[in-house]
Amino acid sequence: MATKLFQIDQPTLVQLVNEKNLAELQKLGGVNGVVLALRSCADHGIYTNNDDEVARRRESFCSNTSKKPITKGFLYFVKEGFLEHTITILMVCALLSLVLEGLSIDGQVQVQQSGLINGVSTFVTLFVIVAVSAVANYKRQKKFERISNVNNTTQVDVVRCGRMQQILKSKILVGDVICLKIGDKVPAHGLFLRGDPLQLDESSMTGVIGYVEVNHGQNPFLLCGTKVVDGYGRMVVTSVGTNISQETTPLQARLKELTSSICKGGLAVNLLVLVVLVVRYFTGCTKDKNGNLQSRGSDTKFIEILKFAMQIIVHAVTILVAAIPAGLPMAMTLSFVHAMKRMMADKVMVKELSTFEILGYATTICIDKTGTLTMNQMRVAKFWQGKECLLQDGAYYSSMPRNLMELFREGTALNTTGSVPEVSGEITGSPTEQAILSWAVKELKMDMEEVARNSTILHTEPFNSGTKRSGVLTKRNDDDGSVLHVHWKGAAEVILEMCSSYYDSSGTVKDLDDNQKIDFQQIIEGMAASSLRCIAFAHASYARDEDSNGQLKKDGLVLLGLVGIKDLCRPGVKKAVEVCLSAGVNVKMITGDNVFTAKAIASECGILRPDQDMNIGGAQVIEGVEFRNYSPQERMEKLDQISVVAGASPFDKRLMVRSLKKKDGVVVFIGDGTNDAPALQDADIGLSTMQGAEDAKDSSDIVLLHDTFELVVTVLKWGRCVYNNIEKVIQFRLTVNVAALVISFVATVSGEEVAFTTVQSLWVNFIMDTLGALALASDKPTDELLIQKPPPPVDRTESFITNIMWRNILSQGLYQISVFLTLKFGGKSIFGVGVGGMVNDTMMFNTFVLCQVFNIFNSRMLEQKNVFKGALRNRLFMGIIAIIIVVQVVMVEFMNNVSGTKRLGWEQWSFCIGIAAMSWPIGSVVKCIPVPEKLVCNSHGGGLELLEDLVVNAS
Ligand SMILES: Nc1ncnc2c1ncn2[C@@H]1O[C@H](COP(=O)(O)OP(=O)(O)OP(=O)(O)O)[C@@H](O)[C@H]1O
Ligand SMILES: [Ca+2]
C-alpha cells in the first residue's frame, strides 16, 4: 500500500539497476521519468525534508542500513540452521522410520525400543547441532555489528530542498540527489543525473578488473559500493538498504564456487548410492545386519517397501547434509572478524571486512616518504645564502643585510598557508610550513601581523604536489602600487630553474649563469644527500603591467636563499622494511621530494641496499618525469627493478600503483598526504596513518591508529594469517569430506550396512563443518608466515586449493579410507586376535573420528612439520579438541543405544588411537614431497572431477 505514494515500486527499481536494464529504464521514461516518479528533482533533490516525508520514504523503500547486514534474531539462526542442513526433511524421515519400525515388528518389545531410541536420538542430535551452530552464528553477528558500528560514520554530500548538505550514509533516502567526486564510494544504487562521465571501479561488485564509464547514454546505472575513480557528477538514489543485494567479494565468489563443487560431488556420490540400493532391493539381495539374505513375506511387503524407501531417504539426506559446506562462509567471516578485532586492539583499524580477502596476497608495498617513513616533525637545520652555508645561530642572522632580511620576512609571512597566532603562538600549517615559519619567527624575528599590515596580497598560487611550489603576488602599502612583488618558495631544484640571478651573502645581486647554477645544484645535492628537504626562496619586483593580468612572473627571478629541513626517519622503519623484504614483499619508495633526499632516506630505511645501483637514472632510482615518460612496455619491463621514484606527482604515484597491479601483483600503498590520495584509492589496499590528511584517510582501507611504522608488519601478518586460516579450514574439511564420501559409498555399494548410523554421520559432519572451522579459523599469526613468500596472486575466479593443499588432503584422505576399508573387509581376520575379539563397526567409527582429531593438528600447518607449535596457547583450539574427545568417549561408552555403538575395551581404544595417531608421521613424511607451484585444479569442475575420480577408483 505504501508504495502507492510513489509511481514506482521498489522491486522494479532494484531490478532495474542490478540488471542495468536500459530497455526497462526507457519504459519508465528514462532517468527523468524515474526522478519524477520518486518525487524528486535533479536540481533541488527531495522537496521536503520533514520527519513525515522521511518516514514515508523509509516505509516505502527502507533505509540505508544494510551495508551492515540487517540484524537477525536468534530464532532466525535456528530456522536457518534447520534449512541449511536440510534437517527438517531428515527429521520427518526419522519420525516416519520410527513409526514404521514400530509397525513392522510384532510384539518384539526390545527391537521396538531400539527403534524408538534411534528416532529420539536422531532428534536430539539434530537439536544439539542446530542449537550450537545457531548460537555460534548469532554471536558472530553480534560481534560483527559491534565492529561495523565503529566505521558507520561515512558522510555523503546530498542535495535536499535545494540545499547541499552532508548527511550520514545511513540517512540516505530513495530519491535523494547525491554529489559524487573522485574517491567516493557510491553509497546506494542509483542513476546518473548529470556531470562529467564517471569512471567507476566495479571490481568489488563484479570481480571484473577495470573501469566502467557511467554516463547519460548507454550506462546511467550506479551500483552501490563501487568506487569513483574519475569524474564528478550527481546521481539519484533508487534503492537503499535491504533492497541491495549483498556485495560479494572475490574470495566469497571463489568460496561459492568451491561450495557448489563440493555439493555437486556429494550429490553425485549420493545418487550413485541410491541407484545401487534401489537396484539391489529389486533384484532381491538385501542383506540384514548379520549379512543373511532377507526373506520377504508377502503380508509385510507393503510396509517393507515403505520402510525401505524411508531408509533410502534417510541415507540420501544424511549424505546431503555432509555435502553442504555450510561451515566455510562461517569460517571466513569468523576469521575476518577475529582478525579485525585483534587488529583493532593493536591499534589498526580495518574499515571493511572484505579488505582481508586480498591482504594476504600482498606482493608489493609502495611507501610515501615524508610523513610515512619520516616523522613529519620538521626543523630548519641549514640555511644557505648565496654560496655561504650558515648553521643556525642567532648572531649570524642579526648581521644579515637589511634588504634581504625584509625580503625573507615577506617571503615567509605572505607566501604561506600557515599562521602564527599572536596569542597562543602555536604555529599552524603543514609540517613544512610550520618548520619555515618557526625558523622565520625565531631567527629572522619575523612578525607575521606586521608584514601582513604592510603589504596587500593581489594573487596567490597555492602549493600543490604537481608544481611543487607556491607563489604570491603583492604590492606594498607604502608606495603607489606601481611596483609588484612576487615571492616564490618550493622545491629547490624547481625554484632554481626559475632564477636568473641570486643574492650573495653580502646582499648584492649576482648573475646566475649555467656554471653558477651547477654550483647551486651541488649545494642542493649536498644538503639532500644528508637527507635534508631543500626549499628555495625567490623574489622579483617589477612595474605593474596591464597585460600581465594578475599572472605571477615565473622567470628571471632572484634567488634569495635555501633552507635545509631535517625530518628524521621513524624508529623501527628499517626493521619493518627488512621484515617485509624477507617475507617476499617488494618495497618501493615513491615520493614528491628531491631525488637525493629520497636516496638518502631510502638507504637509511633499508629500501636501497649498498649492493644496489644507486645512480640516479639507473635501474633503481629514477625521477617521476622519467617514469611518466616511459612507454607502457618499457615501464612494465623496468618496474621490478625500480626501488625509488623521486619528484613524483600524485599521478605518478597512481601510475606506479596501476602498473604494478597490471603486473598481476597485489599492491599496498602507504601514504599520509593529499598527494597520496589517488594512489591510495587505486591500490588494492590503501593504508594511511591517523595523523594523515583527511582525504588520504578517506581513500584508504586501513588506518593505523598509532604512530608506529611497525604496525605495517602487523597488518601484513594478519592478512596472511587470515588467508592461511581459511586454507586450513578448507583443507581439513575436504579431507573429512573426501574420506567420508568414499567410505559411505564403498560401504553401501559393497552390500553391507551403511558405514555410519545417522547419529554418527551427523557427529562426523558436525566435527567437519562446525568444530573444525571454529578450531582452525581463529589461529593467531605466527612469525613463520612472514618467512614464506606471499601466495601467488591467482586469478580471482580460480580456486585457492593449492597443490600443497591437495597433497595434504589426498594423503590423509587416502590413509583414512584405506584404514577403514582394511578394518571393514580385512579387519576380522587380520586384526582379530590382537585386539581382543574383533574389529567391530564401533571401532571403525571410533578410529575415523580419532583420525580427524589427529588430523586437525596436521591441518594447522600446511607446510611445516611441527604441527603443535602454538597449539597449546590457542585455548579455543585445545578446548574444541577436548570437546570432541569427551563427546566421542561418551558416545562410545555411555550412549550405545543412541549412537548405535558398542562399548570398547582398553585394548580396542589403544588400537584405535594407535591407528589414528599414524596420521601424524604420515603428515610429516608427506610434507617432504615437493609439489609444483602451478595450480593444476581449479574449482571449475577440477575439485569435482577429482572427487569423482576418487570415487571411481575406490570402487
Ligand atoms: N608548503 C610548501 N611550500 C613550498 N614547497 C613545498 C611545500 N611543501 C613541500 N614543498 C616542496 O615540494 C616538494 C614536493 O612536495 P610533496 O608534497 O609532493 O611531497 P613530499 O611531502 O616531499 O614527499 P612525500 O610524497 O614523500 O610525502 C617537497 O619536496 C618540498 O621541496
Ligand atoms: Ca607524505
Q: What is the pLDDT of residues 807-836, one digit of tens each?
A: 999 999 999 999 988 887 765 555 544 444
Q: Tell me if 772 CB under 6 Å of ligand 1.
A: no
User: Residue 489: CB within 6 Å of ligand 1?
Assistant: yes
Question: 404: which 3 cell numbers?
Answer: 634581504
Q: Which residue's alpha carbon is at the smallest distance from atom 22 of ligand 1?
A: 593
Residue 437 or residue 64, greater confidence? 437
Q: Strands 189-195 and 232-239: what pairing?
A: antiparallel
- Return the minimum-mean-pLDDT range out of 336-345, 574-583, 643-652, 925-934: 925-934
* Torsion sign (Cα): 685, 690, 693, 695: positive
Q: Hey, what long-range contacts does 664-667 have (CB within 8 A, 24 or more apart)?
A: 664/793, 665/363, 665/364, 665/793, 666/358, 666/361, 666/362, 666/363, 666/364, 666/790, 666/793, 667/362, 667/363, 667/364, 667/365, 667/366
Name the residue with higher pLDDT: 588 or 459: 588
By C-alpha distance, which of 597, 593, 636, 645 is closest to 618?
645
User: CA neighbours within 13 Å on the CB side: how many for 349?
Assistant: 18
The beta-strand segments (E) located in 573-646 are 586-590, 621-623, 644-646
pLDDT of 835 reads: 44
Q: First CA to last CA across the chain, in angstroms?
A: 60
| Residue with CA at minimum distance from ligand 1 atom 17 | 465
Give the residue, by CA position, lying nearest to ligand 1 atom 31: 491
- Cell numbers 630548519 correspond to 380
Cell representation of residue 264: 555437486
pLDDT digits (tens, 9 = 90+) for 503-523: 998 889 999 999 999 999 999
Better-scored residue on pLDDT, 246 or 498 = 498
Q: Rounded to the nearest whole angstrom, what is the distance from the C-alpha of residue 361 to the centroid of ligand 1?
A: 32
Q: Which long-range contacts (CB under 8 A, 24 or more apart) does 436-443 make?
A: 436/380, 436/412, 436/489, 436/535, 436/563, 436/565, 437/412, 438/379, 438/380, 439/379, 439/380, 439/383, 439/392, 439/412, 439/563, 440/408, 440/409, 440/412, 440/413, 443/380, 443/383, 443/392, 443/394, 443/397
Residue 626 pLDDT level (bands cut at 50, 70, 90) = very high
Residue 320 banded pLDDT, cuts 50, 70, 90: low
Q: What is the pLDDT of residues 630-669, one digit of tens each?
A: 999 999 999 999 999 999 998 899 899 989 988 878 899 9
Q: Is the dihedral of CA 682, 686, 689, 694 positive or negative?
A: positive
**Cβ-proximal residues to 429 (8 Å cutoff; 6+ apart), any chain:** 416, 417, 418, 419, 437
- Interhelix angle 711-749/803-821, rounded to 10 degrees, is 30
User: Please, are residues 438 and 427 in contact by the beta-carbon 8 Å criterion?
Assistant: yes
pLDDT at 866: 85
For residue 888, pLDDT over 80 is answered with: yes
**CB proximity list for 579: less than 8 A, separation 6 or greater:** 713, 716, 786
Ligand 1 atom at shortest distance from the alpha carbon of 647: 14
Ligand 1 pocket check for 434: Cβ under 6 Å: no
Which of 91 and 841 is assigned the larger pLDDT? 841
Average pLDDT over residues 404-412: 94
DSSP 275-297: HHHHHHHHTT--B-TTSPBPP--
Residue-by-residue DSSP string for 163-221:
EEEEEEGGG--TT-EEEEETTPBP-SEEEEEEESPEEEE-HHHH---SEEEE-SSS--E
* Per-residue pLDDT tens digits for 769-780: 788 888 898 888
Predicted confidence band at 171 (pLDDT cuts at 50, 70, 90)?
confident
**Residue of 184, 368, 593, 676 marked active site:** 368
Residue 603 — very low, low, confident or very high, per pLDDT cuts 50/70/90? very high
Ligand nearest to the CA of 598: 1
CA of 672 to the centre of ligand 2 (A): 5
Which of the given ranges, 105-119, 463-477, 924-938, has the highest pLDDT on average? Answer: 463-477
pLDDT per position as a tens digit, 639-648: 999 999 999 9
| pLDDT, mean of residues 206-229 | 80
Q: What are the φ and ψ backbone dihedral angles of 294, each rounded to 5 degrees?
A: -85, 140
Over residues 256-276, mean pLDDT: 75
**Set of cell numbers at residue 314:** 534417510
| Position 944 pLDDT exceeds 60 | no
Q: Looking at beta carbons, which pairs linking 73-82 to residues 24 or more positions away fall under 8 Å?
A: 74/134, 74/138, 77/133, 77/134, 77/135, 77/137, 77/138, 77/141, 78/130, 78/131, 78/134, 80/134, 80/137, 81/129, 81/130, 81/131, 81/133, 81/134, 81/137, 82/130
Q: Is 413 helix (H, G, I), strand (E, B) or coil?
A: helix
Of 668, 669, 130, the C-alpha closest to 360 is 668
Structure confidence at residue 67 (pLDDT): 38
The confidence score (pLDDT) of residue 562 equals 95
pLDDT of residue 164: 87
Contact 477, 455 (CB under 8 A): yes
pLDDT for res 955: 35
Catalytic residue list contains 368 = yes
User: Using a 6 Å cutoff on CB, does residue 487 contact ligand 1?
Assistant: no
pLDDT score at 128: 67
| Ligand 1 lined by 593 (C-beta under 6 Å) | yes
Which residues neighbour 786 within 8 Å (Cβ) at sequence distance 6 or greater? 579, 582, 583, 713, 716, 717, 720
For residue 300, the 8-state DSSP code is T
Q: Which residues contact 783 (CB under 8 A, 6 or more apart)?
A: none
Residue 903 CA to residue 18 CA, distance in Å, equals 59
Q: What secondary structure letter does DSSP report for 551? A: P
Nearest CA to ligand 1 atom 6: 490
Instruction: Say yes or no: CB of residue 564 within 6 Å of ligand 1.
Output: no
How would you classify the pairing of strands 685-689 and 702-704? parallel
Q: Are 66 and 244 in contact (CB under 8 A)?
A: yes
Nearest CA, atom 29, ligand 1:
593
What the chain holds in terms of domains, given with CATH numbers, is 2-68+152-243 (2.70.150.10), 251-338+726-954 (1.20.1110.10), 348-374+570-705 (3.40.50.1000), 379-566 (3.40.1110.10)
Alpha carbon of 605 to ligand 1 centroid (Å):
19
Distance 673 CA to ligand 2 centre (A): 5
Ligand 1 pocket check for 533: Cβ under 6 Å: yes
Of 56-70, 539-553, 563-577, where does mean pLDDT reach its minimum? 56-70
Taking only the tens place, the pLDDT of each residue in 351-406 is 877 788 788 888 899 999 999 999 999 999 999 999 988 776 666 777 888 889 99
The per-residue pLDDT for range 119-158, each reduced to its tens digit, is: 566 666 666 666 766 776 676 666 656 555 554 567 888 9
Residue 622 pLDDT > 90: yes
Burial class (CB in 10 A: 0-12, 13-18, 19+), 538: buried
Least confident of 580-594, 702-716, 756-770: 756-770
Cα(435) to centroid(ligand 1), Å: 13
